[in-house]
Structure 1
Amino acid sequence: MAPQVSALDHLVLTVSDPEASVAFYTRVLGMRAERFLPADGTTRTALLFGAQKINLHVAGSEFAPHARAPRPGSADLCFLSPAPLSDWRAHLGALGVAVEEGPVPRTGATGPILSIYVRDPDGNLIEIANPAP
């Protein structure tokens, strides 16, 4: 049998303004920002949530190796939340973050989900979803 992967550890998001991205992901989505020092001695920023993280690369100053054509605004990310989407809509509204669509039924990795969509500062599509009952 061929080897298989079992989980996502992290992904890299290329951003145009790291401070704006950190503010959005921490204030709007409740992630925790962390600076870390990899073996190459540079200082990098990660956004932590659950058992995963998003590493931020600044457009034009990406760390090697990187995607062939990294660009701000090219991601489409879905995050699961136990909080009802009505709570999310109230939270987003209080912060002035427009809901672009939803709630709408979708299909997640493990089955049906109910989702709303917003955009981050670079225009990445951010889906916030509840597992459907």
Structure 2
Amino acid sequence: MISHFDHIVLTVANIDKAVSFYETVLKMEPISFANGRKALRFGQQKINLQLLGQELRNHAMEGSGDLCLITNWTIDEVVTHLKACKVAILEGPVTKSGALGPIQSVYFNDPDNNLIEVSVYSEITE
């Protein structure tokens, strides 16, 4: 029935700060949609950003997100880039279980304390 994610929404305290972080640290493309709302596009997905209380149907608080993002970089390249961006790595590299098999992951927080996991599949799986 479900084939893939189209987008997710993260609740943040400061839209511009979140856009800057995801653009700089995770190399996502900032875009605007629907009367100036902000999002970050990567591949065929996007992350929509909302301020706390902006969407009354969503009761998420700042820092309640927990994302696993797959990269085509090596895990060493990811670690080097995060260190260059002065991002504190909370854990990793460590072996975890992804949707398609084993992954190597590093964990860190975004400016709103959402937990971000950047991962590399041990073997290329399509």
Instruction: Name the TM-score, length of structure 2 as normaliser.
Output: 0.93
Listed one character per residue, the Cα deviations across residues 44-103 of structure 1 (whole Å, up to 9, x for unaligned) are 1110001000111111222x5x32x22110011000001011111111111111111001
The percent identity for this pair of structures is 44
Measure the CA separation in 2 of the matches of 1:46 and 1:122.
15
**Residue 16 (structure 1) aligned with residue 13 (structure 2):** yes
**Residue 99 (structure 1) aligned with residue 92 (structure 2):** no
Measure the CA separation in 1 of the matches of 2:54 and 2:9.
13
Q: Rg larger in 1 or in 2?
A: 1
| Equivalence map 1:69-84=2 (5 Å) | 69-84=59-74
| Runs of at least 5 residues in structure 1 that lack an aligned partner in the other structure | none
Structure 1 segments of 4 or more deviating over 2 A?
none
| Runs of at least 5 residues in structure 2 that lack an aligned partner in the other structure | none
CA RMSD of aligned residues (A): 1.0
Aligned pairs, how many?
123
Measure the CA separation in 2 of the matches of 1:98 and 1:19.
20
**Residue 7 (structure 1) aligned with residue 16 (structure 2):** no
| Equivalence map 1:3-82=2 (5 Å) | 4-37=1-34, 42-62=35-55, 66-67=57-58, 69-82=59-72
- Residue aligned with 2:41, SS: strand
**Residue 116 (structure 1) aligned with residue 109 (structure 2):** no
User: C-alpha displacement at 1:13, in angstroms?
Assistant: 0.8
